Amino acid sequence: MKKKRTKRSAEIIVEIDEILFIKGDSKPTLSQCPVCRREVSMIAPEQAAQMARVGPRTIYTWVESGKLHFLETPEGSLLICLDSLGAAASSEGKGVRAPRG
């Protein structure tokens, strides 16, 4: 007599929590995003690079290609829309780490 084989499978879920500390005085700024047309958190390109786990040059490339929403302050500083950063990083297969601290 033959025995029937049953297939078993197991699903393993791993959760990883990270805390990202961003050095410097810069904190997210609430500003009107010119593309989203609503008030969003805006951050410096260097902070955006840390959060998206890419180099600063990649952030500037994404700005130039239109993947990131941005605005320039009257002083000439560039600020990146956090909402667009999440979308751009996801489209590149990257995650965005939320800043804490």
22 by Cβ neighbours in 10 Å (0-12 / 13-18 / 19+) ranks as middle
Query: What is the percent of the chain with per-residue pLDDT over 90, rounded to a whole number?
Result: 55
Domain range for 41: 29-91
- Asked whether residue 70 is assigned to any structural domain, the reply reads yes
User: According to the model, what pLDDT value does residue 97 have?
Assistant: 63
Which residue do the tokens 């590149």 mark?
92
Task: Tell me the mean pLDDT in the region 93-98.
Answer: 66
pLDDT digits (tens, 9 = 90+) for 56-65: 999 999 999 9
| Distance between CA atoms of residues 2 and 16, nearest Å | 45
pLDDT digits (tens, 9 = 90+) for 18-41: 444 445 556 788 999 999 999 999
- Asked whether residue 1 is assigned to any structural domain, the reply reads no
- Asked whether residue 97 is assigned to any structural domain, the reply reads no
User: According to the model, what pLDDT value does residue 68 have?
Assistant: 96
| Domain count within the chain | 1
- Asked whether residue 62 is assigned to any structural domain, the reply reads yes
